[in-house]
Amino acid sequence: MHKAILFDLDGTLHNRPKSLVTFFRDQCERFSMNVDLNRFVELDNEGMRWKDEVYEQLVKEYQLPLDPQQLLADYVTLFPRFAQLYPDVEHTLEQLKAKDYKLGIISNGKKGFQRAVFNSLSINEYFESVIISDEVGLRKPDARIFALGIEQLNVQPEQALYVGDQYDTDIIGSRNKGLKAAWKTNEQVDSDAHFQFSSWRQFIPKLQQLEGETWSSAKQK
Cα 65 to Cα 52: distance, rounded to the nearest angstrom: 16
Q: Hey, what's the torsion of the CAs at 198, 203, 209, 210, to 10 degrees?
A: 90
Q: According to the binding rule CB under 8 A, does residue 197 interact with its own copies?
A: yes
Q: According to the binding rule CB under 8 A, does residue 23 interact with its own copies?
A: no
Question: Alpha helix (H) ranges present in 86-166?
Answer: 89-98, 113-120, 133-136, 143-153
Q: Which is nearer to its own copies, 18 or 175 (CB)?
A: 175
CB of 107 to its own copies, least distance (A): 17
Q: According to the binding rule CB under 8 A, does residue 128 interact with its own copies?
A: no
Q: Which is nearer to its own copies, 29 or 192 (CB)?
A: 192
Distance, CA of 208 to chain centre: 29
Q: According to the binding rule CB under 8 A, does residue 153 interact with its own copies?
A: no
Q: According to the binding rule CB under 8 A, does residue 215 interact with its own copies?
A: yes
Contact (CB, 8 A) for 6 and 104: yes
SS3 of 163, please? Answer: strand
Kindly tell me which residue out of 48, 100, 125, 137 binds its own copies, with binding defined by CB under 8 A.
Answer: 100
Q: According to the binding rule CB under 8 A, does residue 122 interact with its own copies?
A: no
Q: According to the binding rule CB under 8 A, does residue 127 interact with its own copies?
A: no
